[in-house]
A and B are shown apart, each in its own frame.
Chain A
Amino acid sequence: MSLKAFHLIFITAASLLSFGLGWWMLRAYADSGMKADQIYGVTSIGVGMALLLYEAFFIKKLKNVSYL
């Protein structure tokens, strides 16, 4: 597996973490009602989406590099 393939796996895992963290913080916001938790949660979900967009850009940019 090349660095390209491993990077895609890593970015997928990182975006899943961002979505998970976002859900976690929004749940914490439901308990605490603290504005900071809400901002934290929404930002995390935003970062998760940004990572997916980056992943698409990366695949396009390195389309000539092998996955092996």
Chain B
Amino acid sequence: MEIPYTSKPRPDTGLYNAKVGIWLFLASEVMLFGALFSAYILLRVGAGEGTWPHGLLSIPIGTFNTFVLITSSVTVVLGWASLQVGNFGRYKVYQAITILCAFGFLGIKSFEYRDKFKHYEVWLKNPITVHQGGKEVQTDRLLGHIEYEGHHPYFWNTARLAGSPEIKDKNGKVVKAAVARVESFKFQPDPIHYTMSPKEMAHAKKESFGHPHQEIEIKASDVKRLSAFVPSHSTFFAIYFTLTALHGLHVLGGAIVIFYIWGPGAKMWKTDPQRYMNRVEVSGLFWHFVDLVWIFLFPIIYLL
């Protein structure tokens, strides 16, 4: 039995099956991302003054990634338009660029994540004097990078400073090696902190531009709390990683589908070109949705 309206549109709705299906799916996606966006906005609005980490994400990197996604949307639609006029070769080129853009976006995002995992906030038991925004200030909260035994460690927290003993199973086999206690570490404080206003941050960045990082020695016994920029750092990073990782999974999913249609699935162009074009259109609709989510995500997370 042949399934109707897989290639030709249904006369009463003017839509083929897959287009109805993708729009129903996208409606459910709007609800998913809408709920997370609402959660983000409510948390942001409800945060007390000076408690919401802002200005910690790199706007140039975010802008570049936005540009990459906009480019991929243009190529995906130009690829589809090339098929409309029967130019399969040009479609292949445009979609190859789309796939490259998708993986480029994910590569840049992973670079950004990696930087966050070795960027820290340290809460001290007593205030110390540091150089911030061209002046000496007393503070008990610092942002910056740790240097320990010549390395910039990832994922450190307060418990890591205390170290941990060796763990053995019931047969006496070591399942987790002992982790040495940290007595002190070097810390390169950032010239800014999110307790500053955007204006103060802009001023501090300008004042510190071109100056080498100051380095201070912090004793582990003086640390009240230590956290990398990971979900447990704060509500901001929890929702930042939730939203961007979910979006990243959508980019990966979309790229895999586009790659399949572009590569192994391209045989259909010879047997049923109309249905093949429909597939390209549906994957393009999903891709545009994913890119549109980023268009909203970028200003909310990076700028506000």
**What string of 1s and 0s marks CB contacts (under 8 Å) between A34-56 and chain B?**
10010010001001000100100
B residues near A10, Cβ cutoff 8 Å? 73, 288, 291-292, 295
Query: Is the Cβ of B14 less than 8 Å from the Cβ of A32?
Result: no
Q: Are A3 and B80 neighbours in the complex by a CB distance under 8 Å?
A: yes
Q: Kindly specify which of B38-46, B143-151, B196-204, B238-246 makes contact with the partner chain.
A: B196-204
Q: Which residues of B contact A54 (CB under 8 A)?
A: 74
Q: How many residues of B contact A (CB 8 A)?
A: 33
Are A7 and B73 neighbours in the complex by a CB distance under 8 Å?
Answer: yes
Say how far A42's CB is from chain B's closest CB, in angstroms: 14
Report the minimum CB–CB distance from B257 to chain A (whole Å).
Answer: 14
- Chain A-chain B contacts (Cβ-Cβ < 8 Å), number: 71
Residues of B within 8 A of A28 (CB): 198, 202
Structural contact, B303 and A6, CB atoms closer than 8 A:
no
Tell whether, in the assembled complex, residue A32 and residue B80 are in contact, meaning their CB atoms are under 8 Å apart: no
Interface residues of B in 235-292 (CB under 8 A from A): 281, 284-285, 288-289, 291-292
Q: Determine chain A's interface SS by DSSP, over half rule.
A: helix
Q: Does B203 contact A32, Cβ atoms closer than 8 Å?
A: yes
CB-CB contacts below 8 Å: B187-238 with A: 198-199, 202-203, 205-206, 209
- B207's nearest neighbour on chain A, judged by CB, is A32
Looking across the interface, which residue of chain A has its beta carbon closest to that of B23?
A1
Q: Is the CB of A3 within 8 A of B288?
A: yes
Interface check B84, CB cutoff 8 A: yes
Within 14-68 of A, Cβ neighbours of B (below 8 Å) are at 14, 17, 20-21, 24, 28, 31-34, 37, 40, 44, 47, 51, 54, 58, 61-62, 65-66, 68
- 21 A-B pairs with CB atoms under 8 Å apart are A3-B285, A3-B288, A7-B77, A10-B73, A13-B292, A14-B66, A17-B298, A21-B63, A21-B303, A28-B198, A31-B198, A31-B199, A31-B203, A32-B205, A34-B202, A40-B60, A40-B63, A47-B67, A62-B81, A65-B84, A68-B14
Besides the known contacts A14-B295, A68-B15, 16 further A-B residue pairs in the complex with CB atoms under 8 A apart = A6-B288, A7-B284, A10-B73, A10-B288, A10-B295, A20-B299, A21-B299, A24-B303, A28-B198, A28-B202, A34-B205, A34-B206, A34-B209, A37-B202, A40-B60, A44-B63
